[in-house]
Each structure stands twice: as C-alpha cells, then as structure tokens.
Amino acid sequence: MPPLFRCLLLLLCATIGVSTGLASEFWLLPARFVVAPGTRLHIRVLVGDNFSGTRWAGQSSRLTRFVHYTPTDSTDLTPTARQTDTLNTAVTFSQPGLHLLAFSTSAAVTVMEAGKFNAYLQAAGLEEALALRRQRQELAQPGREAYRRCAKTLLQVGAASADTARIYARVAGLPLELVPEQNPYTLKPGASLTLRVLAAGQPVRGALVQLWQRPPGQPMQVIRARSNQNGRVLFRLAGASSYLVSTVRMVPAPDAKTADWQSTWATLTFGGPGISGR
C-alpha cells in the first residue's frame, strides 16, 4: 500500500481494535531470487506489512499445498513440508531456467464486532463485501471470517534466457493467484509487466492489486491498481529489485455454520529485470 494509505489503515485498526494480522501480507521469500544450478535454499514464509515481515507462526498442519514447478516437471513437496510441526520449506534448484513455487494454507476463523468488521472491509478496499453486508442488512452483526493464504515465488536458476516452458505463466490452481504474462527476469528495466488475477482459474474483475518494489539502497516504492474486466493489471518495473505483488478477495463463505465470509489472500514475489544472484 502507499505509505499514507498504510498509515491510515494501521491507525484505523489501532483505533477500532482490529488485529492488523488480517490486513497483513503473507509471502514466500528466498534468500536470493537468482541462484546457481544445484543450490538448495530455505524458503522463508513471512507475514507482515510494507514488504517487511516475520516468520509465519502457523503449524505445518495448515499447509494444503507446496509445489515446485521446474522447466520440465513438477514435484509436490507438501508431504515433506508437513512431516513435523515446523514447516520444512528447503528446496533444491537443480535445473537451469525459471522455477515456480506455489504454497497455500487452510482457513482459520476469526470473529469481529460489527463496527470493527465494517471498518476493516472499508480500510482493506473490500467495498463489494461491505455493500453486500449493507444490502443484506447485516451491518449490525458481527463479522465471522474464514481467511486463507496463497503465495507464489519465481526464481531464476542460472542465467536468464527465453523461457519456452513459460513457467512464469503457469496456473498453479490455487484458490486465488497472480499470474504474470511476461517473464520478469527477461524484461528490460522500465518495461511493463501484466498480471492476471485468477480465482479458481477464472479472471477476477475489480480486484485491488498492490505492488511493492525495493530497489537496492532506495526507499520502498508502492503502486496500486484495479484489475480490468479480464482480470488483468499492468505495472511498470523499475529494474533490478525485489518485488511483492498482493491481492485479496472476500466472498460469502460456502459453509455458513462456521463463518459468514471467506477471504483469500494471494501474493507473488520475484526479482526484477537485471537482478543478480548476489
């Protein structure tokens, strides 16, 4: 989020007593986005704000999917990652080319007082959910929300080259995901990157999408945009940087016994044009 918007959201959450955990991003972050073939990395799972986070404290039992896509095949790492209570997210990148990791969690349920929930929806840009609550005359009722997380990261193994396998555009089948239409590692600095917002593989119109870019030695830059009728959104990449893209979707919960609303949070991380493996 832009600094002013983020400050307003944090101030609002503090004022009304809403936990900012729900308004925080959740993302995958490797130590480096460009690595040599054969490198083994621990992929950090982080939660936080403004591209600054701490380790996710969730149990491995909440992991529903952890898949490694390579230029030639894919490997389901979920069983290995869930072997102990602490997540095992170490991955070996053997084959040169672009690699994609996809990660998702099960839902956890939280309940907010009516006024706090309404303010949370407004602050998070979830106006459609707020309008539906108003239409259903539910503004005075507590908000029971089941929230789940989806995260993806793109890494370049070896020198960047034409990705004939189009791993960057691979639809992982997550409940909500961000799918690039170009390879960010082969774009020129200043070029535009188009992403699609997909919910269960279908385009999402009007989704608020935020992009953080962290150029080395420079202040954080944040851009916000809404997806068009085809679920597409366009951002200009400054160049060598670390990037985090985020979106969230709120819909009526499929199981009204446990929650009234289901939110799905999705992120994508990658290194920008010209980034090195240092």
Residue 243 pLDDT class (50, 70, 90 cuts) = very high
H-state helical runs in 78-141: 78-81, 114-123, 127-135
pLDDT reading at 15 higher than 70:
no
Give the Å distances, CA to CA, from 58 to 45, 63, 102: 10, 9, 17
pLDDT in tens, 16-62: 344 444 558 999 999 999 999 999 999 999 999 888 888 998 889 99
Answering whether pTM is above 0.85, one says yes
Please state the φ and ψ torsions of residue 79, each to the nearest 5 degrees: -60, -40
Q: How far apart are CA 34 and CA 184, in angstroms?
A: 12
- What does the alpha-carbon distance between residue 204 and residue 199 come to, in Å, rounded to a whole number? 6
Domain 3-271 has CATH 2.60.40.10: yes
Whether the pLDDT of residue 274 is over 80: the answer is no
Q: What percent of the chain has pLDDT over 90?
A: 73
Residue, of 277 and 39, whose pLDDT is higher: 39
**At a CB cut-off of 8 Å and minimum separation 6, what does 220 contact?**
50, 51, 212, 213, 214
Does pLDDT of 4 surpass 90?
A: no
Q: How confident is the model at residue 276 (pLDDT cuts 50, 70, 90)?
A: low
pLDDT of residue 160: 81
The mean pLDDT of the chain is 89
For the chain, the 3-state helix, strand and coil shares in percent, each to the nearest 5, are 15, 45, 40
* Between 84 and 44, residue with greater pLDDT: 44
pLDDT in tens, 158-199: 988 777 789 999 999 999 999 999 999 999 988 999 999 999
Give the model confidence (pLDDT) of 203-215 as tens digits: 999 999 999 998 7
Q: How far apart are CA 128 and CA 161, in angstroms?
A: 42
pLDDT 10s digits, 94-115:
999 999 999 999 999 999 999 9
Please report which confidence band the pLDDT of residue 132 belongs to, taking 50, 70 and 90 as the band edges: very high
Closest by alpha carbon to 172, among 154, 145, 190? 154
Spell out the residues 6+ positions from residue 125 whose beta carbon is closer than 8 angstroms to its own. Answer: 208, 248
pLDDT given at position 134: 96
